[in-house]
Structure 1
């Protein structure tokens, strides 16, 4: 399956529901919305100056991401924040992307030119401090490898993780230097382009495990350095 989008196209502005989602994520991360707090659609709509429809869509997405839960007859409430939401997703994502990388490398299907263009786009995003565009460029970079693996079930499982949304949340939570994010992807691409299958798989897995921020690395050894 080919990626139809232009590799150099800049992402469009966020939809209203995406803006509300990201705004709520920031409120949850900052502690302004506390665990257990009820989320009332009409109040959120008034705060964001919109109707309830995009609020409802944003809350459904946050529920799917594990940041919000719906309780019968009690509405939606904020869940204790994100540790499992981010960590578990990145561990699963690492396994899926390692498998996709192996398929791509063994069949020599790496979309080099498109991925180089994605890295260039990341550096442009870093230059203007565009966090949202960086998240989308990163997801696009990794999606190319998953699609090039030509494994429908793997692709479906990867998309089921809601990668773009989780990447946006991870960038909000960890607040990395965007230039470092671009550097990490540039280094990963260089390893992929080297043609060394095992090194490529190892680097792909490590790239995701770093964001899982677990107390041990992917081999079970204690980690001396934690992701900020």
Structure 2
């Protein structure tokens, strides 16, 4: 089943993604720090699996710039760089703004599927399901990118490892999940209204807000006491 089709409620995370997200959470939380070694056999034993999904999870983490592999020494954790999150969201904003323009000009946006993704986010918010809302968010944006009809743009977007970076953003910012769902509903409403320029600006700003990580994910500066 592709990420863009089928019943999203029936999809289960792959074992490699479960391992990736488990390690990702520890890195973001500081439980795994700079220089800590990640040994495939030890991780495989912990998760009760073979080394193949562990190797895939580590490959994805290396692609995110969170670890580096060392010949004959396994992998080690790199410093958690918030700047890499910012850079990824700035690039993603440009890609999704362009995809939105292309899709709207072609009249190709799948509004029914976008609405289903928003409803899934609302269900996840009610259930306090952080991984679920991240996957539903990625699915929403993937529909828009695919509707743009530009294969090179879509491949560049996929290369950002959207699900993993969304998981990082949610772990770091810990936004109110209801607010995340509402932001996507507002974006969908703007797209449905049909004003291309307004929709493109909204699509861009939606991602730029997350580029302010670890500050308020919706662009509000924090005061000295850490509150928004």
TM-score, scaled relative to structure 1: 0.88
Structure 1 portions without partners, runs of 5+: 217-222
Deviation (angstroms), 1:173: 1.9
Out of 196, 218, 225, the position equivalent to 2:221 is: 225
Aligned to 1:76: 75
Cα distance in structure 1, aligned partners of 2:213 and 2:119: 30
Aligned to 1:124: 123
Check conservation: 1:126, 1:182, Cα contact below 8 A. yes
TM-score, scaled relative to structure 2: 0.88
Structure 1 stretches of at least 4 aligned residues deviating more than 6 Å after TM superposition = none
Check conservation: 1:67, 1:85, Cα contact below 8 A. no
Aligned to 1:5: 5
Aligned to 2:63: 64
Aligned to 1:50: 49
CA 1:209/1:4 → structure 2, altered by over 3 Å: closer, same or farther? closer
SS at match of 2:9: coil
Structure 2 portions without partners, runs of 5+: none
Check conservation: 1:115, 1:144, Cα contact below 8 A. yes
Cα distance in structure 1, aligned partners of 2:189 and 2:202: 10
Deviation (angstroms), 1:162: 1.1
Superposition RMSD in Å: 2.3
Check conservation: 1:90, 1:211, Cα contact below 8 A. yes
Aligned to 2:134: 135
Aligned to 2:14: 15
Cα deviations across residues 10-69 of structure 1 (Å, max 9, x unaligned)?
Answer: 152222211111111111111111111111112222332333222111111111111111
Cα deviations across residues 52-97 of structure 1 (Å, max 9, x unaligned)?
Answer: 2221111111111111111334331101114133111111100000
Cα distance in structure 2, aligned partners of 1:27 and 1:9: 27
Cα deviations across residues 176-217 of structure 1 (Å, max 9, x unaligned)?
Answer: 11111100100111111111111111110110011111699x
CA 1:133/1:224 → structure 2, altered by over 3 Å: closer, same or farther? closer
Equivalences, count: 220
Cα distance in structure 2, aligned partners of 1:161 and 1:31: 23
Cα distance in structure 2, aligned partners of 1:96 and 1:12: 26
CA 1:58/1:215 → structure 2, altered by over 3 Å: closer, same or farther? closer
